[in-house]
Amino acid sequence: DTNEDDEATDTEMLEVVERLRSSWLAPSGIITFNCRPGVSFDVLIGLRRLGDCPSWAGTLTHLASLVTRVQFPSALAASFSVSYLLPQLVFSRAEKLVLCNVAASAGSEPLPLPDVFLSHISDAHFPRVATLDLYQVVGMRQEAVGKALDLKSIREVQFDKSFDQRARLFVPFFFPHCLATCSPTG
């Protein structure tokens, strides 16, 4: 069990699991996880952890299949390299997909998602996502939002209720016209 709701999986917990695997578990042994409903899987953090410790691949893949909330980037920083594990991450229980803006390094704009990321936003990788959370849509990359809106299971689109009304002028409108009558408060 992870210990706090609505918190990304913890590096310390992953280290403990790795120690259990290497020290106590038989080669064919299995560790069973349970995730509380609020546990979130941040795709960028997960992929960075793989770069630091490739032996966590099995654990991260398994955790991805258990979480109900996933944070996925709408763009990438120029310095980010894509992990080989991304296509293996299937969020079979995820009910909420949160698209996040990525902080760009000083003086540079975030880059559009590479095809490997965009193709990952699919019904095969997110079969149960009913809610798309855009948080604050200012600066959101249209390509990722378009792919997420194409998910067959999407029933609700959310954004931050404290969203600055003046910022609407800068939002590229990627929503279908039928959504124009939806509540402007989220």
Q: Is residue 109 part of a domain?
A: yes
Q: Is residue 181 part of a domain?
A: no
Q: Is residue 4 part of a domain?
A: no
Q: Is residue 123 part of a domain?
A: yes
Q: Is residue 1 part of a domain?
A: no
Per-residue model confidence (pLDDT) at position 4: 42
CA distance 113 to 143: 8
Q: Is residue 32 part of a domain?
A: yes
Averaged in consecutive runs of 10 residues, what is the pLDDT profile of the chain (186 residues)? 45 82 85 81 86 84 92 80 80 93 61 84 96 75 87 88 51 48 52
DSSP bridge pairs for 99: 72
Q: Is residue 186 part of a domain?
A: no
Per-residue model confidence (pLDDT) at position 182: 53
Q: Whats the size of the chain, residue-wise?
A: 186
Q: Is residue 183 part of a domain?
A: no
Per-residue model confidence (pLDDT) at position 74: 83
Domain count of the fold of the chain = 1
The residue written with tokens 């032996």 in the block is 55
Per-residue model confidence (pLDDT) at position 5: 39
The residue written with tokens 């009558």 in the block is 181
SS3 at position 170:
helix
CA distance 83 to 57: 10
> 162: which 2 tokens?
């404290």
Q: What is the DSSP string of 69-114?
A: EEEEESEE-TT----TTGGG---TT--EEEEE--PPPTT-PPEEPP
State which H helix or E strand residue 156 sits in.
Answer: strand 156-158
Contacts of residue 172, defined as CB under 8 A and 6 or more positions apart, other chains included, come to: 142
Give residue 165's domain range: 11-174
Q: Whole-model pTM?
A: 0.77
**Start-to-end C-alpha separation, the chain:** 32
Q: What is the DSSP letter of 162?
A: T
Q: What is the DSSP string of 2-22?
A: -SSTT-BPPHHHHHHHHHHHH
